[in-house]
Every structure is written in C-alpha cells, then in structure tokens.
Chain A
Amino acid sequence: MKILVCISKSPDTTSKIAFSEGNTKFDENGVQYIVNPYDEWYALVRALEIKEAQGGNVTIITVGNVADEAIIRKALAIGADDAVRINAEPTDAYFTAIQIADYAKKNAFDLVLTGKETINYNGSQVGGMIAEVLEVPFASLATKLDVNGSILTLEQDIVGGVQVVEVSIPAVVSCAKGMAEQRIPNMRGIMAARTKPMQIVEPIACDLFTTYSSYILPEAKKACKMIDPNNMDELVQLLHTEAKVI
C-alpha cells in the first residue's frame, strides 16, 4: 500500500503564545517547533504499522520552508521512507490542500492520512479539501483504521457515540486519538533519517481563500476567589448569584 502522510509543524505545547507586528504575526521568538502531535502520534505511526504488516511505502509531505526540514527529519527518524517538501508558506488551508492534492494526484497514493487538526490553527480543513480535489471519500476524525485488501474499516467518534464505516481505497482519512501510540525514534532511525530521500517541489499557483488579519490574547483572569472547603453552600450560591452559571 502506498501511503502519503501529511505533516505540519506546530509550536511545542509548552510554548508561550505571543504576537508581533501589531498583533498580526505569531511571534516565533524562542519557539521550538515540533511535528503536530496528531500527525505524528496517530497518522504517521498508523501508516508505519500498516506498512510493517503488509508492505508498501510511507511518504511524508509538508508545505513549508527550509527551516521545516527539522520536523521532516524527525518524521523520517520515526520510520517514514521518504519525504516531500512543497517549498511555500502554508498560510491558508486551501492553498496547503491544493499543493498536497496536486502532488498526490501525480503520484497515485492508495491512502492519504492527516492528523485530526493542527494544534496551532485547529482548522480540521486540509484533509477534506484534499479529498474533494482528488474526488475520493474522506473519513474525518477516525479513532481506528484497519486495512483489508482494498477496504478500510474505520471507527469515528460521533457526538456522544461511535460509528463504524467502510470505505474503499483510494481515500483520505484524518486521524485522532486511539488510532496508534506515539513512537520515540531510536538512534538507528535518527542516523538513517539523514540519508533518506527528500524531494523539494515548487508550489503551483493558487488563490488564498482566507487570511489571518490579526490575533488577540485572552484577557488575564482576575484573582481566584478561595472558598472554605467546608462551605460548599457558599460556592453554590456564588455560582448562582455572582457567576450566574447555575
């Protein structure tokens, strides 16, 4: 099975979030980038498990600049076979999806995997957009993925319940928690990653559907009101009369 895994960078989860240039740009000062956890822990690891069980090839793709080669090497160290970097800033989900879909179309993949969303923009957009361009089915937020010949069996969390679906390849699947377990790359993987092939592809022309015009940080919380642990009646009264939430 020929699998394409889409990876994105995201700031390390402990990063302090700040903005510059009049709150129009994410302030990258001191920010360490990681592979977006959903892409790494679930999409990439599940792709590797499928390959280990039945053979095939796992290619990773990212839309990003030279600096993003660090996260590409990390994904290769975990076990992907080769990598593609589309040489452009991924400023808009549609632009990003068009670039990946174009590469996927030219290289005929059986399965395209993405993470559920990135932890910086939380859009949950790219996978569905790729599927529409490729005119193939899209299963969003899958928590389980099994392959049987050309049939995929997937589980999805629906509001308050679970749904099991079947779909034939080629297909696009976005991957959520439950699908696989995080893998830590070993020394051999890290060494091997240095020499694995990485192709750099120039972007195709494409409109931007959306732009981030500015950012706002949440207001700082007022000091916390401490309540006597023996007086829960007081807390309930405050939640009713002061906070007005019950």
Chain B
Amino acid sequence: MKTLVYINSDNGISKSSLEVITYAKKLGGEVVVVSGGNSSDLAKLGEYGASKVIVDRAVVNGDEQQITKLIAFAAETENAEIIVFSHELTAKAVAPRLSVKLKAGLISGAIALPDLSSGFSCKVNVFSGKAFGVVTVNTAKKIISLLPNSVQPEITGSACSVEEISSNAGTSAIKIITTKKPEGNIPLPEAELVVSAGRGLKGPENWGIVEDLATALGAATACSRPVADIGWRPHHEHVGQTGVAIRPNLYIAAGISGAIQHLAGVNGSKVIVVINTDAEAPFFKAADYGILGDAFEVLPRFTEAVKKFNAAK
C-alpha cells in the first residue's frame, strides 16, 4: 500500500504539513510527498516518514486545477491507494476535484486514523463539532482530508530524496492577482493555543489585554461572531458553527457567553478556560477551568502569571 501526501510548501513547511506526513506514515505503507513550487526544504520531510518527495516546479501551489492534475499524475505513476491532505483552503479546492477525477471517495475533516477492521472507515467531525461521524469509503482509492491538530508531528527517519518531475499540468483558468502573506501571526486553524474574546470586552480598543496574553503564551487570537460582525475584529477570527471550527489544545474564552453556536466550533478543544463575570454563563458548563471575574482584571493578571512561568522555565 502506498500513500501520497500533498503539501503546499510555499510559505515554508507548516506544522500541518508535518502532521499529515506523520499521519500517512502511521497508515503503515510507503509515504510519497508531492508538491509544487520552489521550496528547497523538501528533503527534511523524510524525517517525518516520507520515502521520497516528488515536486513539479512548474506547478503553482495556489492553482487548484494544476495541483489536481499533478496529484492525479503522481497517483497514477506511484500507484498510490490513499491520498492525504491537510483540511485547508487548497485541500478544500483540490480534494473534491480529485475525488471525481480518480473516482476516489473523499473523507473530509478526518480526526483519527482509519479503522480497517471492516472496510475503510474514519472518524470525522460533523454538526460543526457537536458530534462525530464514522464515514465508510466504498471505492478502491481513498482521499483523506485531515483536520489540523489531530496528530502531533513525529520524527521517525532521516532526510529523503527529492525528485523533480514534469506532470504537464498545464495552466489553469484561475489567475492569481495578489497574495497577501501572513504577517507572522499564528494561523488560527493550526494554533495549539488560542485566546478568544467576546462582547464582554466592550470595544475593539480593549483588545490589547487579549493580545498581550496571546503573545505571552504564543497563542493565536479568536473572537465570537458578534464581535466580528460589528467589525471589532477581522472575520477570519470568528469561531463557531458559522465561523472557523478549531480544535486547539487550549482555548481561553474571555467575555464570551458560550452560546450553542459558539460552542459548536470550539468544543473539540482539549482544555477550555472560561473567564466571565456571570456565574450563570453557559460556557462554564463546557469549561475545564473557570474564573468568575472581570476580564479587565483577570486577563492582565493571567498574562503576568504566564510571563513569570516562562521566565522560570
């Protein structure tokens, strides 16, 4: 059995890329990584379990039609049975196309390794995190799109060979005009630690204390829906049933009531800390640690405690 892993290597090798390679390695068979673009870091993917990397330098990692052709080409030449993606923008564009092209069932939002005891089944997030589903794939070839932060990257080997190929992927009808690169912030879906705040913060001018805690922890920032709707925070920070669904190790929620739609997007978090002035706030029922108190006082104290902890480390 051979597994093909697609990664987008344009902004360096992301943690979620290492996660999918580790995941593919755990499937048991040989792992071949495929990518486009100009990255020179690809040999190190061998450390995480790749036996080789194949790269088509002519393929632009943002071009869904080219990537679909590249992966289909690689799946054919490598005779791969399983194709794994990280469930992000590129995967959301490419994996469905590839599913049709290769007649391969697609499991999107996988959070665990497949169960092979009867057929090929995999646990996924459904109902925006309110439940899990077990999806069984009925086709010979399978595609898995893995939610970030579902496995931890593991070093198991050493550098591997990088093979440059030409897949004749052509050009796509999509023209990329501009790309605004991330500005050093931790992207929310990948973050292990998240500090989030809601309407209880009273105004955008008060977000400094949220960002201070996030900086001290090395965490990403998030917010509730009304906060994004009224423009206090950018839309991509909105978590919940109609925003981004996240599964960090630690989710800290300050001044968020914990409405069912908000919880849906965050209750996959391993540990939840809630800071709220209202003892009746529903969020406390979903929390592991609760602080009944004013976010304006608690957040700065929390930040100081984290700084003290960091200094002692």
Chain B residues in contact with chain A, CB under 8 A?
11, 14, 62, 64-65, 68, 87-89, 92-101, 103-109, 121, 123, 125-128, 130-139, 172-183, 185-187, 189-190, 192-193, 217, 228, 235-236, 238, 241-243, 245, 249-250, 260-261, 264, 267-268, 270-271, 273-274, 284-294, 297-298, 301-302, 304-306, 308-309
Are A13 and B242 interface neighbours, CB within 8 A? yes
Which residues of A from 190 to 246 have beta carbons under 8 Å from B?
207-218, 221-222, 224-227, 229-230, 232-233, 235-240, 243, 245-246
How many angstroms between the C-alpha atoms of A153 and B176 in the bound complex? 10
Which of A50-58, A73-81, A128-136 contacts its partner?
Answer: A128-136
Chain A residues in contact with chain B, CB under 8 A?
11, 13-14, 17, 19, 37-38, 93-94, 97, 119-129, 131-133, 136-141, 143, 153, 156-168, 171, 174, 177-178, 207-218, 221-222, 224-227, 229-230, 232-233, 235-240, 243, 245-246
Q: List A contacts of B291 (CB < 8 A).
A: 226-227, 229, 235
Are B292 and A124 interface neighbours, CB within 8 A? no
Q: List B contacts of A19 (CB < 8 A).
A: 131
Q: List B contacts of A139 (CB < 8 A).
A: 93, 174
Are B99 and A165 interface neighbours, CB within 8 A? no
How many angstroms between the C-alpha atoms of A124 and B88 in the bound complex? 10
Q: Identify A123's interface contact among B108, B298, B301, CB under 8 A.
A: B108
Are A210 and B136 interface neighbours, CB within 8 A? yes
Q: List A contacts of B285 (CB < 8 A).
A: 221, 224
Q: List B contacts of A214 (CB < 8 A).
A: 133-134
Q: Give 3 closest A-B pairs by Cβ, nearest first.
A: A128-B96, A160-B182, A229-B293
How many angstroms between the C-alpha atoms of A46 and B270 in the bound complex? 37
Q: List A contacts of B127 (CB < 8 A).
A: 11, 17, 119-120, 122
Q: List A contacts of B94 (CB < 8 A).
A: 128
Known A97-B100, A141-B89: A243·B288 in contact at CB below 8 Å: yes
Known A126-B96, A178-B235, A232-B305: A210·B174 in contact at CB below 8 Å: no
Are A140 and B64 interface neighbours, CB within 8 A? yes
Known A140-B92, A236-B305: A212·B134 in contact at CB below 8 Å: yes
Instruction: Report A206 CB to chain B, min CB distance, Å.
Output: 11
Instruction: Report A122 CB to chain B, min CB distance, Å.
Output: 6
Q: Nearest chain-B residue to A14 (Cβ)?
A: B260
Are A121 and B89 interface neighbours, CB within 8 A? no
Q: Identify A216's interface contact among B123, B189, B250, CB under 8 A.
A: B123
Q: List 25 A-B contacts (CB under 8 A).
A: A94-B99, A119-B242, A125-B96, A128-B97, A139-B174, A140-B64, A157-B235, A157-B236, A158-B179, A161-B180, A164-B179, A165-B175, A165-B177, A168-B173, A213-B136, A214-B134, A215-B134, A224-B289, A225-B289, A226-B290, A232-B298, A233-B305, A236-B308, A239-B273, A246-B309
Known A125-B108, A131-B97, A164-B178: A235·B302 in contact at CB below 8 Å: yes
Are A119 and B108 interface neighbours, CB within 8 A? no
Known A229-B298, A232-B301, A239-B250: A164·B126 in contact at CB below 8 Å: no
Are B133 and A163 interface neighbours, CB within 8 A? no
Are B137 and A209 interface neighbours, CB within 8 A? yes
How many angstroms between the C-alpha atoms of A124 and B64 in the bound complex? 14
Q: List B contacts of A166 (CB < 8 A).
A: 174-175, 177
